[in-house]
Amino acid sequence: MSWAVLLNTDEMSVIMPVLIQQTTLGRKMAKSESKTPIETKSMQTADKAIPMTDEQKFFFDLHGWILLPSVLSTTETKEMRSEVYAGAKQSYDGALQRLLDHPAIVGILSEILSEEPFVRDDCYSFRCEGSFTTIRPPGWSKLERGDMGLPHVVRPPQQANPMRYQVAGEKIFSGLTRVVWELEEVKAGQGGTSFLSGSHKSFFNYGGPDPFRPNISESPWESSMREAMSEYSCPAGSVVIFTESLIHAANDWTNPKNPRCAVFNCYNSVWAQWHKLNLSHEKIKTMPLKRQSLFRGTWAIGGGPSGNHQYSQENRTW
């Protein structure tokens, strides 16, 4: 049995290793490669969710993010990367579509965005909010982004709202949650997303003039907060999961060896929505039935005895 080390690294050192079973991930990925679930209409996608471990829960709660290295095989990574380089703007088509409900993230998202009674076989217990891809060549500047690379959150963690990170009854609710698939190698300090670990649970505001502002602009502590931020190194085919209640930022891509090529997918509770979905019914209908359920309507009670389990044109997120 071989093990991969799940590392949260900064430039100089390994902060904390968390073990995941590499053979399990490898076997399941090989299975998904051999099938083409995108073309089938089966209820189930090819693989079974891998449950979140207690160790992953501990570090996700502590830091607000975790990294799962080398989740995708080299072949799978190459295929998905070439789709992004060929112009894919979201992970809604081709091999990239498999990332939406990859077994390595399904167990984790079920744990941090749902409750046990709502976890079912015939639909996912969380929603997909949307997807985008990015290619950042060496020399790419964070100033190209609308937010100019300012550290930000969905809503300041001190404010009560349905997007926020919470823990109650020994249960995580991560709120708006981001899953980043890194399809090229990332080196700490050379342009991956950076995180102010623990800030998702901060009781105090980050010092700007407006407590409702979701970024740290005009905070006199900007440079000390940036210095305290963690970065990660990972091989191509790794995935980073973080709560959007965590202060995080985009950074200049300075790695001369390769561009950043990443897929950013966003998830939420089936009872909450932040982003308006820009995805056609025609596209959703090409997906396996269970994958379609990621885009069903955002509600819990009412709507007939069958409940909110299946996607349809009438029961979709807008």
Q: Give the interface segment with ligand AKG, choosing from 83-91, 204-212, 242-250, 287-295 (CB under 6 A).
A: 242-250
Whole-number CA gyration radius for the chain: 19
> Which residues in 109-148 contact ligand AKG (CB under 6 A)?
none
Alpha carbons 293 and 90: distance in angstroms, whole number: 18
Binding residue for ligand AKG (CB under 6 A) from 250, 261, 270, 294?
250
Of 80, 120, 130, the closest CA to residue 100 belongs to: 130
| Distance in Å, CB of 262 to ligand AKG, minimum | 7
Nearer to ligand AKG, 265 or 308 (CB): 265
Q: Are strands 238-243 and 126-136 parallel, antiparallel or unpaired?
A: unpaired
Alpha carbons 70 and 304: distance in angstroms, whole number: 43
Name 130's Cβ contacts closer than 8 Å, sequence gap at least 6.
90, 265, 266, 275, 277, 278, 279
Nearer to ligand AKG, 264 or 271 (CB): 264
Q: With binding defined as CB under 6 A, does residue 200 bind ligand AKG? A: no
Q: What H or E segment, with its residue span, contains residue 74?
A: helix 74-85
Residue 147 tokens, joined: 């937010």
Alpha carbons 284 and 273: distance in angstroms, whole number: 18
| Distance in Å, CB of 253 to ligand AKG, minimum | 9
Residue whose structure tokens are 């980073």: 240
Binding residue for ligand AKG (CB under 6 A) from 28, 57, 81, 178?
178
Q: With binding defined as CB under 6 A, does residue 264 bind ligand AKG? A: yes
Nearer to ligand AKG, 164 or 178 (CB): 178
Backbone φ, ψ for residue 76 (5° rounding): -65, -45
Which residues, in sequence order, are bridge partners of residue 133?
263
Q: With binding defined as CB under 6 A, does residue 193 bind ligand AKG? A: yes
Binding residue for ligand AKG (CB under 6 A) from 127, 248, 290, 291?
248
Q: With binding defined as CB under 6 A, does residue 155 bind ligand AKG? A: no
Total residues interacting with ligand AKG, rule: CB under 6 A: 6
| Distance in Å, CB of 180 to ligand AKG, minimum | 7
Binding footprint of ligand AKG on the chain (CB under 6 A): 178, 193, 244, 248, 250, 264
